[in-house]
Amino acid sequence: MSGNPLRHIAIIMDGNNRWAKQRGKPGPQGHKAGVEKIRDVMASCRRHQVEVLTLFAFSSENWQRPPLEVEALMTLFLGYLKREAKKLNKEGVRLRVIGRRDRFSAKIQKAIVKAESLAAVGDTTLVIAADYGGQWDIVNAAKQVAEKIQRGEMSLDDVDEAALGAGITMSDLPPPDLLIRTGGEHRISNFLLWQAAYSELYFSDLYWPDFGEEALDEAIEDFHQRQRRFGKTSEQVEQER
Protein backbone atom coordinates (compact mmCIF):
# COMPACT_ATOMS: atom_id res chain seq x y z
CA MET A 1 0.00 0.00 0.00
CA SER A 2 1.27 3.50 -0.68
CA GLY A 3 0.27 7.05 -1.32
CA ASN A 4 -1.29 7.88 2.04
CA PRO A 5 -1.62 11.66 2.40
CA LEU A 6 0.77 12.86 5.10
CA ARG A 7 -0.16 16.32 6.29
CA HIS A 8 0.57 16.17 10.02
CA ILE A 9 3.28 14.38 12.02
CA ALA A 10 3.27 14.37 15.82
CA ILE A 11 6.30 13.23 17.82
CA ILE A 12 6.83 12.24 21.45
CA MET A 13 10.49 13.16 21.87
CA ASP A 14 11.55 10.54 24.41
CA GLY A 15 14.92 9.25 25.57
CA ASN A 16 16.92 12.42 26.24
CA ASN A 17 17.85 11.42 29.80
CA ARG A 18 18.82 7.89 28.81
CA TRP A 19 20.87 9.23 25.89
CA ALA A 20 22.83 11.42 28.30
CA LYS A 21 23.25 8.65 30.88
CA GLN A 22 24.55 6.30 28.20
CA ARG A 23 27.29 8.84 27.52
CA GLY A 24 28.07 9.63 31.14
CA LYS A 25 26.59 13.11 30.87
CA PRO A 26 24.05 14.88 33.11
CA GLY A 27 20.40 14.71 32.04
CA PRO A 28 20.14 18.35 30.90
CA GLN A 29 22.81 17.64 28.26
CA GLY A 30 20.44 15.11 26.75
CA HIS A 31 17.62 17.62 26.63
CA LYS A 32 19.95 20.17 25.02
CA ALA A 33 20.94 17.64 22.34
CA GLY A 34 17.26 16.91 21.83
CA VAL A 35 16.44 20.56 21.17
CA GLU A 36 19.20 20.69 18.55
CA LYS A 37 17.68 17.67 16.79
CA ILE A 38 14.45 19.56 16.05
CA ARG A 39 16.01 21.36 13.08
CA ASP A 40 16.97 18.07 11.39
CA VAL A 41 13.47 16.70 11.75
CA MET A 42 11.92 19.93 10.48
CA ALA A 43 14.16 19.73 7.41
CA SER A 44 12.91 16.23 6.67
CA CYS A 45 9.31 17.37 7.10
CA ARG A 46 9.88 20.13 4.55
CA ARG A 47 11.25 17.63 2.04
CA HIS A 48 8.17 15.47 2.50
CA GLN A 49 5.86 18.51 2.27
CA VAL A 50 4.39 17.91 5.72
CA GLU A 51 2.14 20.81 6.67
CA VAL A 52 2.16 20.42 10.46
CA LEU A 53 4.76 19.10 12.90
CA THR A 54 3.70 18.77 16.54
CA LEU A 55 6.33 18.09 19.20
CA PHE A 56 5.59 16.91 22.76
CA ALA A 57 8.12 19.04 24.64
CA PHE A 58 6.78 18.98 28.20
CA SER A 59 3.82 17.03 29.54
CA SER A 60 1.48 17.93 32.39
CA GLU A 61 3.10 15.10 34.35
CA ASN A 62 6.67 16.29 33.77
CA TRP A 63 6.32 18.78 36.64
CA GLN A 64 6.86 15.75 38.90
CA ARG A 65 10.44 15.33 37.69
CA PRO A 66 13.39 16.43 39.88
CA PRO A 67 13.38 20.23 40.36
CA LEU A 68 16.80 20.68 38.77
CA GLU A 69 15.68 18.84 35.65
CA VAL A 70 12.47 20.88 35.42
CA GLU A 71 14.50 24.07 35.80
CA ALA A 72 16.84 22.96 33.01
CA LEU A 73 13.88 22.16 30.76
CA MET A 74 12.36 25.58 31.41
CA THR A 75 15.67 27.27 30.58
CA LEU A 76 15.91 25.35 27.31
CA PHE A 77 12.30 26.15 26.43
CA LEU A 78 12.81 29.85 27.09
CA GLY A 79 16.03 29.87 25.07
CA TYR A 80 14.38 28.08 22.14
CA LEU A 81 11.49 30.55 22.03
CA LYS A 82 13.82 33.55 22.08
CA ARG A 83 16.29 32.10 19.60
CA GLU A 84 14.08 30.39 17.01
CA ALA A 85 11.01 32.58 16.49
CA LYS A 86 12.64 34.94 13.98
CA LYS A 87 14.25 31.99 12.15
CA LEU A 88 10.91 30.21 11.88
CA ASN A 89 9.26 33.32 10.49
CA LYS A 90 12.05 33.73 7.93
CA GLU A 91 11.59 30.10 6.85
CA GLY A 92 7.82 30.51 6.49
CA VAL A 93 6.93 28.44 9.55
CA ARG A 94 4.11 29.46 11.87
CA LEU A 95 4.69 28.70 15.55
CA ARG A 96 1.97 27.64 17.94
CA VAL A 97 2.33 26.59 21.58
CA ILE A 98 -0.45 24.43 23.05
CA GLY A 99 -1.16 23.45 26.64
CA ARG A 100 -1.65 25.22 29.93
CA ARG A 101 0.30 28.42 30.44
CA ASP A 102 -0.59 29.51 33.95
CA ARG A 103 2.00 27.24 35.59
CA PHE A 104 4.89 28.72 33.62
CA SER A 105 6.83 31.70 34.95
CA ALA A 106 5.75 35.15 33.82
CA LYS A 107 8.96 35.36 31.77
CA ILE A 108 8.13 32.19 29.83
CA GLN A 109 4.50 33.19 29.34
CA LYS A 110 5.65 36.49 27.87
CA ALA A 111 8.18 34.72 25.64
CA ILE A 112 5.49 32.38 24.30
CA VAL A 113 3.26 35.30 23.31
CA LYS A 114 6.16 37.14 21.68
CA ALA A 115 7.40 34.08 19.79
CA GLU A 116 3.93 33.26 18.46
CA SER A 117 3.55 36.88 17.38
CA LEU A 118 6.91 36.91 15.58
CA ALA A 119 6.14 33.64 13.78
CA ALA A 120 2.41 34.10 13.23
CA VAL A 121 2.24 33.41 9.50
CA GLY A 122 3.61 30.57 7.40
CA ASP A 123 2.88 27.85 4.87
CA THR A 124 3.73 25.20 7.48
CA THR A 125 3.11 25.02 11.21
CA LEU A 126 5.31 23.95 14.11
CA VAL A 127 3.26 23.14 17.21
CA ILE A 128 5.02 22.79 20.56
CA ALA A 129 3.03 21.01 23.25
CA ALA A 130 4.20 22.34 26.61
CA ASP A 131 2.47 21.60 29.92
CA TYR A 132 0.05 19.67 27.73
CA GLY A 133 -2.04 16.61 28.50
CA GLY A 134 -4.64 14.91 26.34
CA GLN A 135 -7.03 14.41 29.25
CA TRP A 136 -6.74 18.10 30.17
CA ASP A 137 -7.51 18.97 26.55
CA ILE A 138 -10.71 16.89 26.50
CA VAL A 139 -11.86 18.21 29.90
CA ASN A 140 -11.27 21.76 28.70
CA ALA A 141 -13.39 21.14 25.59
CA ALA A 142 -16.14 19.57 27.72
CA LYS A 143 -16.20 22.65 29.94
CA GLN A 144 -16.66 24.86 26.90
CA VAL A 145 -19.64 22.78 25.80
CA ALA A 146 -21.11 22.86 29.33
CA GLU A 147 -20.80 26.64 29.44
CA LYS A 148 -22.63 26.96 26.12
CA ILE A 149 -25.44 24.76 27.46
CA GLN A 150 -25.63 26.89 30.63
CA ARG A 151 -25.91 30.05 28.51
CA GLY A 152 -28.64 28.45 26.41
CA GLU A 153 -26.53 28.57 23.25
CA MET A 154 -26.93 24.82 22.69
CA SER A 155 -28.93 21.92 24.08
CA LEU A 156 -27.84 18.54 25.39
CA ASP A 157 -29.05 16.99 22.14
CA ASP A 158 -26.58 19.19 20.25
CA VAL A 159 -23.60 17.57 21.97
CA ASP A 160 -21.81 15.24 19.56
CA GLU A 161 -18.29 14.55 18.35
CA ALA A 162 -18.23 17.70 16.24
CA ALA A 163 -19.42 19.93 19.09
CA LEU A 164 -16.81 18.57 21.50
CA GLY A 165 -14.11 18.44 18.85
CA ALA A 166 -14.53 22.14 18.12
CA GLY A 167 -13.12 22.90 21.56
CA ILE A 168 -10.18 20.53 21.30
CA THR A 169 -6.75 22.06 20.79
CA MET A 170 -5.70 22.31 17.12
CA SER A 171 -9.26 21.79 15.89
CA ASP A 172 -8.41 24.10 12.97
CA LEU A 173 -5.51 21.88 11.86
CA PRO A 174 -5.59 18.46 10.19
CA PRO A 175 -5.38 15.62 12.74
CA PRO A 176 -2.05 13.79 13.02
CA ASP A 177 -1.65 11.19 10.31
CA LEU A 178 1.47 9.74 11.92
CA LEU A 179 2.34 9.73 15.62
CA ILE A 180 5.94 8.79 16.39
CA ARG A 181 7.47 7.95 19.75
CA THR A 182 11.22 7.59 20.17
CA GLY A 183 13.09 5.97 23.05
CA GLY A 184 11.68 2.45 22.84
CA GLU A 185 8.50 2.94 24.90
CA HIS A 186 5.24 1.70 23.35
CA ARG A 187 2.61 4.09 24.71
CA ILE A 188 1.37 7.60 23.88
CA SER A 189 1.51 8.97 27.44
CA ASN A 190 -1.55 11.24 27.44
CA PHE A 191 -0.58 12.94 24.19
CA LEU A 192 -3.24 14.11 21.70
CA LEU A 193 -5.75 11.50 22.88
CA TRP A 194 -8.61 13.00 20.88
CA GLN A 195 -6.66 14.11 17.83
CA ALA A 196 -4.79 10.82 17.42
CA ALA A 197 -7.90 8.62 17.29
CA TYR A 198 -6.95 7.38 13.80
CA SER A 199 -3.25 8.23 13.72
CA GLU A 200 -0.82 5.58 12.54
CA LEU A 201 1.55 4.80 15.42
CA TYR A 202 5.28 4.32 14.93
CA PHE A 203 7.68 3.42 17.74
CA SER A 204 11.44 3.81 17.40
CA ASP A 205 14.08 2.37 19.71
CA LEU A 206 16.33 5.35 18.97
CA TYR A 207 16.66 7.96 21.69
CA TRP A 208 15.39 11.34 20.51
CA PRO A 209 18.87 12.96 20.12
CA ASP A 210 19.74 10.12 17.70
CA PHE A 211 16.52 10.44 15.70
CA GLY A 212 17.51 12.48 12.65
CA GLU A 213 16.41 12.95 9.06
CA GLU A 214 17.19 9.39 8.03
CA ALA A 215 15.18 7.94 10.92
CA LEU A 216 12.21 10.14 10.09
CA ASP A 217 12.47 9.15 6.43
CA GLU A 218 12.20 5.50 7.53
CA ALA A 219 9.13 6.25 9.65
CA ILE A 220 7.49 8.05 6.74
CA GLU A 221 8.28 5.18 4.36
CA ASP A 222 6.70 2.76 6.85
CA PHE A 223 3.62 5.00 7.01
CA HIS A 224 3.22 4.95 3.24
CA GLN A 225 3.26 1.15 3.24
CA ARG A 226 0.23 0.94 5.51
CA GLN A 227 -3.42 0.76 4.55
CA ARG A 228 -5.54 3.32 6.40
CA ARG A 229 -9.08 1.97 6.64
CA PHE A 230 -10.89 4.28 9.09
CA GLY A 231 -13.36 1.53 9.97
CA LYS A 232 -13.81 0.23 6.43
CA THR A 233 -12.70 -3.13 5.07
CA SER A 234 -9.56 -3.57 2.98
CA GLU A 235 -11.74 -4.34 -0.04
CA GLN A 236 -13.68 -1.10 0.34
CA VAL A 237 -10.48 0.92 0.57
CA GLU A 238 -9.08 -0.75 -2.54
CA GLN A 239 -12.29 -0.05 -4.49
CA GLU A 240 -12.02 3.65 -3.60
CA ARG A 241 -8.50 3.98 -5.01
Residues identified as active-site:
14, 62
**Cα dihedral 146→148→149→152 (10° resolution):** 160
In terms of Cα–Cα distance, which of 130, 82, 136, 88 is closest to 110? 82
Contacts of 81 (CB under 8 A, 6+ apart): 108, 111, 112, 114, 115
- How many residues are present in the chain? 241
Per DSSP, 157 falls in state G
Question: Among 150, 152, 101, which Cα is nearest to 129's?
Answer: 101
Strands of the sheet with 52-59, listed across from one edge: 93-98, 124-132, 52-59, 8-12, 178-181, 200-203
Give alpha helix (H) positions in the chain: 16-22, 27-47, 67-90, 106-118, 134-150, 161-165, 213-224, 234-240
Task: Say how far apart CA 123 and CA 91 lie, in whole Å.
Answer: 9
